[in-house]
Structure 1
Amino acid sequence: MTTLTDIKNIEDIKLMVDTFYSKVQKDEFIGPIFNEKIANRWPEHLEKMYRFWQTILLEVHSYSGSPFPPHKQLPIAKEHFDRWMEIFTETVDLLFIGVVADEAKLRARNMAEMFNYKIDYFRNAEKNNSKH
């Protein structure tokens, strides 16, 4: 039995991201959405995710950009975010324990809630605009 440790470096980030997205790709509910959108660009997506989480959790500023826009037009709803969060939490809990691991789950939850809210907001705005 391996004793779990906290997320400490880029290798830990890569392990978390790779494990998480390998589960996502195989997931019957959200896998098809990711696989269709990302297609054969998984290596680039994973690289971007390494930089994103490294910036958020380790304060190594290697990510720049805005994470929301690529998600705005996806055919997703709250239940997709719930499943994403379930897989993310399972992954982090399987691999790590500690303050940074808890921070990863908190940041993921906040991001999922914000993305879901913003997607709903944009959809409602588009519906209202099309009525006029």
Structure 2
Amino acid sequence: MTSSRPRRTELSSRADIDGLVELFYDQAMADPLLAPVFEVLAIVGLDEHLVVVGDFWEQVLFRTTRYEGSFTPVHRALHGKYGLTPERFERWRELWHESVDELFTGVDADRAKSKADAMVTALRRSTTGV
């Protein structure tokens, strides 16, 4: 029996990051717990947002300098409007890990997950105090 699922590869390029971000956002926007937070992107422009998120992850993983922002104030505003609960942060982390694991393997895939874990911890503390 041949699997239709693509073989996992090393996470190694901006194109890889873009594919990962797309998969993650598709899942997050369909997730019952996360969808209310993510649906604002349909209004403000998902395509533009995905480029910014790709820039962020490219900087985190490959040390580029394209990302020019600060994600903490944005997430504080989202918390004020939608309530970024510890459960929502944990679900975000789970979906990110699942997305990475579905597509990629290797050192940078592992780093993408560990960096996400650190981000969740920092954002949860800065927005909810937990």
**Which TM-score bucket, shorter chain as reference?**
0.7 to 0.9
Alignment partner, residue 99 of structure 1: 107
SS in 1 for 2:110: helix
Give the TM-score normalised by the residue count of structure 1: 0.86
Query: 2:84, 2:128 within 8 Å by CA — same for their partners in 1?
Result: no
Structure 1: gaps spanning 5 or more residues? 125-132
Question: Could you tell me how far apart the structure 2 residues matched to 1:38 and 1:26 are?
Answer: 13
Q: 2:69 aligns with which of 59, 62, 65?
A: 65
Deviations 1:42-77 (A, max 9, x none): 111101001001111112211011111011032111
Deviation at 1:7, TM superposition (A): 0.9
Question: Could you tell me how far apart the structure 2 residues matched to 1:120 and 1:18 are?
Answer: 27
Match runs of 1:1-132 below 5 Å: 1=3, 2-35=6-39, 37-40=40-43, 41-73=45-77, 74=79, 75-121=83-129
Question: Could you tell me how far apart the structure 2 residues matched to 1:87 and 1:71 are?
Answer: 18
**Structure number with bigger Rg:** 1
**Which 4+ runs in 1 deviate beyond 6 A?**
none
SS in 2 for 1:63: coil
Structure 2: gaps spanning 5 or more residues? none
Deviations 1:67-119 (A, max 9, x none): 11011032111000000001000000000000000000000010011000011
Question: Could you tell me how far apart the structure 1 residues matched to 2:74 and 2:7 are?
Answer: 37
Sequence identity (%) = 32
Q: How many residues align?
A: 121
Deviation at 1:120, TM superposition (A): 2.1
Question: Could you tell me how far apart the structure 2 residues matched to 1:91 and 1:55 are?
Answer: 19
Query: 2:41, 2:49 within 8 Å by CA — same for their partners in 1?
Result: yes
Give the TM-score normalised by the residue count of structure 2: 0.87
Instruction: Kindly report the root-mean-square deviation, in angstroms, between the aligned alpha carbons of the 2 structures.
Output: 1.4
